[in-house]
């Protein structure tokens, strides 16, 4: 077996070259929106949590969110980091960070993110930052025999800064159809 170790500097250089951008433009999570479309099937599971605060602080979803004291249907991000986050939750946000405004994402996610009460803040974050185009349930045996997690494919479009600002200004989310199967 051969193991090849590539420095992060080399990855950054090669990625910038492949994308036809300056290496300096790949600086942080706010400057990496370079892709029109991403398809992803992230690793799932609490057995491989992300605990490093240097990583968690790069993500809104790396912070603790609390239900709003006035409007109990809304969530507010605190300034406290979570102690541990399942990787699929951070994959969602990183994919959105990697998209250009108006870029499209198809991502396989555990159904618990889409329906359980605990990750309601993730759904709120998605609604604030993306337009949900479709949610397609996958058959329970899709990833058998290795994984029995019930999953769906979520299709999203990253909102533009103008769309986000307009929705925040008016307090009203744009109305659009969502395919739910």
- Strand blocks (E) in the chain: 35-40, 63-67, 75-81, 99-110, 130-137, 151-158, 179-180
- From CA 42, how far away is CA 105, in angstroms rounded? 12
Cβ within 8 Å of residue 163, ≥6 positions away? 131, 174
The gap from C-alpha 169 to its chain's centroid, in whole angstroms, comes to 24
Question: Quick one: pLDDT at residue 82?
Answer: 96
Cβ within 8 Å of residue 137, ≥6 positions away? 111, 150, 151, 152, 181
Structural domains of the chain sorted by starting position, each given as residue range(s) with its CATH number in brackets = 1-30 (no CATH), 33-180 (3.40.50.150)
pLDDT in tens, the chain (181 residues): 444 444 555 666 776 777 676 766 655 555 677 899 999 998 876 678 999 999 999 999 999 999 888 887 789 999 999 999 999 999 999 999 999 999 999 999 998 888 888 899 999 999 999 999 999 998 888 877 777 778 899 999 999 999 999 999 998 888 887 876 6
Question: Quick one: pLDDT at residue 132?
Answer: 93
Q: Tell me the pTM.
A: 0.79
Question: Quick one: pLDDT at residue 71?
Answer: 80
């Amino acid at each position: 077996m051969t193991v090849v170790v590539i420095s992060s500097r080399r990855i950054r250089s090669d990625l910038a070259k492949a994308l036809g951008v300056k290496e300096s433009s790949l600086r942080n999570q706010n400057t990496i929106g370079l892709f029109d479309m991403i398809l992803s099937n992230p690793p799932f599971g609490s057995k491989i949590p992300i605990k490093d605060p240097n990583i968690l602080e790069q993500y809104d979803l790396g912070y603790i969110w609390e239900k709003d004291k006035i409007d109990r249907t809304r969530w507010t991000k605190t300034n406290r980091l979570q102690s541990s986050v399942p990787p699929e939750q951070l994959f969602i946000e990183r994919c959105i960070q990697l998209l250009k405004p108006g870029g499209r994402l198809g991502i396989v996610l555990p159904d618990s993110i889409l329906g359980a009460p605990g990750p309601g803040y993730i759904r709120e974050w998605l609604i604030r930052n993306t337009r949900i185009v479709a949610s397609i349930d996958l058959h329970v045996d899709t990833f058998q025999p290795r994984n029995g997690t019930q999953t769906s494919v979520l299709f999203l479009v990253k909102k533009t800064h103008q769309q986000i600002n307009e929705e925040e200004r008016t307090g009203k989310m744009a109305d659009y159809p969502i395919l739910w199967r």
